[in-house]
Amino acid sequence: MNVAPIKTRIFKEREDLTAFITAYIPKIKDGTVLAVTSKIVALSEGRTATPKNKKEKERIIRAESEWAVESYPGWWLTIKDGTFVINAGVDDSNAGGKVVLLPKDSFRVAAKIRTELKKRYRIKRLGVIITDSRVAPLRKGVFGMALGYAGIRGLRDYRGKPDIFGRTLEVTEVGVADSLAAAAALVMGEGKERQPLSIIENAPVEFCEKVNRKELRIPRKDDIYRPLFRTTKRREKL
Amino acid sequence: MNVAPIKTRIFKEREDLTAFITAYIPKIKDGTVLAVTSKIVALSEGRTATPKNKKEKERIIRAESEWAVESYPGWWLTIKDGTFVINAGVDDSNAGGKVVLLPKDSFRVAAKIRTELKKRYRIKRLGVIITDSRVAPLRKGVFGMALGYAGIRGLRDYRGKPDIFGRTLEVTEVGVADSLAAAAALVMGEGKERQPLSIIENAPVEFCEKVNRKELRIPRKDDIYRPLFRTTKRREKL
């Protein structure tokens, strides 16, 4: 698997995403996955704001999230689109004074870009992943995750398949889209690299025409982490 | 960045890890990162058990963890070595009837392998990552993380560095070791692939001689997820 970042100029608000991508990527091989950072997707949608103070930023964060709790002054643990994210993704790094929100619908954007790029590059199998940066509990360091995607299966399902001893695997599903996003985000960087795109070739992915946008969601009651979601005192102290 | 899995025969319990690696990887370029799945590290250490029943497996899981709570019958959310892991990593897939525990000390093993391989391959800059599979809350799909590593910095620190507009970044540290592990685990697979090793070239890593084994740990009180660790009813219902 090869993962290569693409250096670009600074993306401007309300710019056309597909035109920007094709300006920097003249050719793409069939069977490629293109990673696009959520920041330029949000900018293309004009998803920015200019909060005058902390209170206003807090209002935006709350409006953007399905669940929010202030962990530290100004730092919120939130759930947005079913996943944990700091401050609902409202971010002031690389935003030129404004704050940039998360894209409105990353799955829809991924599908749109994919349709346009497939036509432009005259290829059939193309994956598009919109990446975002997240943190895991009890762990330092941000890593990429797939906010939305098109053209690939988000999971590789091993359930019912044999292991190396022929024993049937019970539960393993591999987070393909998230793992690709982690690799892509690593090479794209988080600072002044200006590498909002990344080309992934020879990845172990299954290409497909239609994706299930709820594929990576897990109901809270089915989540192994559910003991943390309970608010009662019955849980053993962590 | 290039990430290539290495196909091998089945690794046997108590085998020598370095001999196994060099049998399948005759040459390594200076500046490479080698990923090794925790399963063969644990097997090389003889970290296996044969629990006779569920009760015995539960005893092992509890003994292996720093914190454990049963999320579903037989499925425990645990903390081991400071990170969340299902069933303390006690796993019966690809274990041939036994259960395989996590390695005793992945940082120590990574350092040992690195020293031996540097000598063998006559190279100076070599990273070694012991990978394990984890899940994130509210998210389907396992992904790789770095259980231990040697020869590379686990984090890339952007704090105090400028963003594309020259604004100083406040908090971003990139989880380099975990992101590399995610990429490596994806190409290695979780089923009957028999690819317990992976070679990562041209990765954006900083090589170093000594690593801080607590580098990726975050005290619970400093974690953005800390509202989930509270057991009181004061928290808003999730």
**Would you tell me how many other CB atoms lie within 10 Å of the CB of residue A73?**
6
In what helix (H) or strand (E) does residue A70 lie, and over which residues does it extend? strand A67-72
Query: Which parts of chain A sit beneath pLDDT 50?
Result: 232
Rounded to whole angstroms, what are the CA distances from A200 to A126, A166, A216, B109? 10, 32, 21, 31
pLDDT tens digit sequence for B50-89: 999 889 999 999 999 999 999 989 899 999 999 999 999 9
Q: Is residue A3 less than 8 Å (CB to CB) from chain B?
A: yes
Q: Is residue A159 less than 8 Å (CB to CB) from chain B?
A: no
Q: Name the pLDDT band for B37 (thresholds 50, 70, 90).
A: very high
Dihedral of the alpha carbons of A177, B153, B170, B138, in degrees to the nearest 10: 30
pLDDT tens digit sequence for A203-237: 999 999 999 999 999 988 889 999 998 754 555 55
What ranges do the domains of chain B cover? 2-44+103-229, 48-102
Residues 206-225 of A with CB under 8 A from B: 215-218, 220, 223-225
Residue B135 exposure: Cα atoms within 13 Å on the Cβ side: 26
Answer yes or no: do B190 and A170 touch at CB < 8 A: no
Answer yes or no: do A164 and B215 touch at CB < 8 A: no
Give the pLDDT mean for B20-30: 97
Q: Which residues of A touch B143 (CB under 8 A)?
A: 174-175, 178-179, 182
Question: Phi and psi of B218, rounded to 5°?
Answer: -130, 125
Look at domain B2-44+103-229 and name its CATH class: alpha beta
Answer yes or no: do B218 and A178 touch at CB < 8 A: no
Q: A interface mutation test: which of B152, B168, B231 has the most A CBs within 10 A?
A: B231
pLDDT tens digit sequence for B146-165: 999 999 999 998 777 777 76
CA B32/CA B126 separation, integer angstroms: 5
Are B18 and B120 a contacting pair, CB within 8 Å?
A: yes
Pick the CATH number of A2-46+106-229 from 3.30.1330.100, 3.90.79.10, 3.40.50.2000, 3.40.50.300: 3.30.1330.100
pLDDT tens digit sequence for B191-227: 778 999 999 999 999 999 999 999 999 988 889 999 9
Q: Which residues of B touch A133 (CB under 8 A)?
A: 172
Distance from CA of A7 to the nearest CA of B (A): 12
ipTM of the complex: 0.94
Answer yes or no: do B227 and A182 touch at CB < 8 A: no
Are A139 and B135 a contacting pair, CB within 8 Å?
A: no
The beta strands (E) that lie in A116-184 are given as: 126-134, 143-150, 155-157, 173-175
Beta-carbon contacts below 8 Å between A and B: 288
